[in-house]
């Protein structure tokens, strides 16, 4: 039975297509949006369109930004001799929340997963190696991929690539639970994992 009109159903369907939004949450969001004043809805719609049109990858670390070089890579106060390799921008944000890491990042946008058909060429590994070869000042690469099978596989692969260059390669400590996604882990645990990193 069709409870709502076509426009409401369409809105609910679009919202339900977002990650982490089930049908009940989509309904709740749809009715909330419908009840907002029109200028507020227009601001939200404009923000979505502007983000889609203007957000791109940082030319150095490949995080999402609306500039050519993101604010972290541009910051002269950051330690540009240390690069932390993370799977996605959400992981970068999780480490930034600790307020303790002062180096820069490299975002892979994925992890090696033969089961899903994702190989080394499908993530930003080539760009990482180019970055390391172009910047002779880099002293340490911290691998902060997730503690999943894919994350561990990616960490070992990166370690094997970088070791011959003479750059120190470390892995965040296992204060991060196996199978845990970094974006959901509290700042204290992330900080302990960073401080307890081990040589690979």
Residue pLDDT, tens place only, 168-192: 999 887 655 556 676 767 675 676 6
pLDDT at position 1 is 43
Residue 42's pLDDT band (boundaries 50, 70, 90)?
A: very high
> CA 134 to CA 167: how far, in whole Å?
13
Q: Which residues contact 140 (CB under 8 A, 6 or more apart)?
A: 81, 82, 83, 103, 167, 168, 169, 170
Q: Which residue has the higher pLDDT, 174 or 134?
A: 134
Q: Delimit the domains of the chain by residue range.
A: 6-54, 68-199
Tell the CATH superfamily of the 6-54 domain. Answer: RecR Domain 1 (1.10.8.420)
**CATH fold group of domain 68-199:** Dna Topoisomerase Vi A Subunit; Chain: A, domain 2 (3.40.1360)
Among the residue ranges 25-34, 137-146, 186-195, the one predicted with the least confidence is 186-195
pTM for the whole structure: 0.77
Going by their DSSP bridges, the two strands 79-86 and 103-107 should be labelled as: parallel
> CA 46 to CA 51: how far, in whole Å?
8
Residue pLDDT, tens place only, 94-105: 999 988 899 999
């Amino acid at each position: 039975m069709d409870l709502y009109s076509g426009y409401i159903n369409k809105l609910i369907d679009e919202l339900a297509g977002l990650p982490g939004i089930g049908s009940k949450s989509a309904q709740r969001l749809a009715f909330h949006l419908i009840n907002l004043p029109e200028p507020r809805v227009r601001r939200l719609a404009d923000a979505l369109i502007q983000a889609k049109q203007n957000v791109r990858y940082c030319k150095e670390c490949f995080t999402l930004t609306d500039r050519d070089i993101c604010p972290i890579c541009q910051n002269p106060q950051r330690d540009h001799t240390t690069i932390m390799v993370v799977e996605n921008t959400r992981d970068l944000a999780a480490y930034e929340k600790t307020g303790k890491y002062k180096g820069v990042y490299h975002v892979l946008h994925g992890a090696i997963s033969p089961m899903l058909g994702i190989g080394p060429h499908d993530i930003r590994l080539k760009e990482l190696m180019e970055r390391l070869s172009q910047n002779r000042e880099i002293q340490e690469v911290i691998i902060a991929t997730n503690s999943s099978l894919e994350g561990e596989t990616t960490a070992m692969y990166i370690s094997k690539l970088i070791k011959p260059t003479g750059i120190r390669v470390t892995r965040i400590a296992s204060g991060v639970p196996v199978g845990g996604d970094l974006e959901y882990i509290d700042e204290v645990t992330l900080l302990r994992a960073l401080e307890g990193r081990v040589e690979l």
